[in-house]
Structure 1
Amino acid sequence: MALSQDLWLLAVEKGRDTPIPSKQESKNISLSKEDREKVIENRNRMVIGTSEKVREEILRLSELYQTDEFMILTNIYDFQDKIQSYSLLAEAIL
């Protein structure tokens, strides 16, 4: 699911307004070396992973920035996958 976000962000950074690609579309897109490097760079500002990893990272960021709330965006093509993502997040955090 994260690959869709990666490709969407690459397109936006290039000035294109584009919908979030599906998982299948994402798998069929070839990336240049520069795009692959940009994906790695962008991933440094994202929280992606298992429920446990996401929970740990959100708690770490909460302590670092002394905040008790976050705005979370899940750029996911499939609506059911998006619901699942938010459900997993809620289970991990609450």
Structure 2
Amino acid sequence: MKSPEHPSAGRADVRIVAASPDAARQVADALRRRFAATEQRSYPVDDSGGTRLHLTVDTTHRPEPAQPWLVSSRSSGDARTQTDEI
């Protein structure tokens, strides 16, 4: 049996096996809040209805923190009247 390849330095391959796709996504979302990560890839587990989810996390960079809606919705400072405004 061939040994699996190791991820590059600063990265970790994560495999999540859960009874449902939603449970696997919740765990992946928690990891993404802590680490930058690739898109997840999911696969069914046998006929049990379970899900196997793979993603790679970057342990050298933290993801950008989510901004509250008030901060993200601030005006760009452009006070011009828009064409659809009266």
The reply to whether TM is greater than 0.5 is no
Quick check: which has more Rg, 1 or 2?
2
| TM-score category of the 2 structures, normalised to the smaller one | under 0.3
> Structure 1 length normalisation: TM-score?
0.26
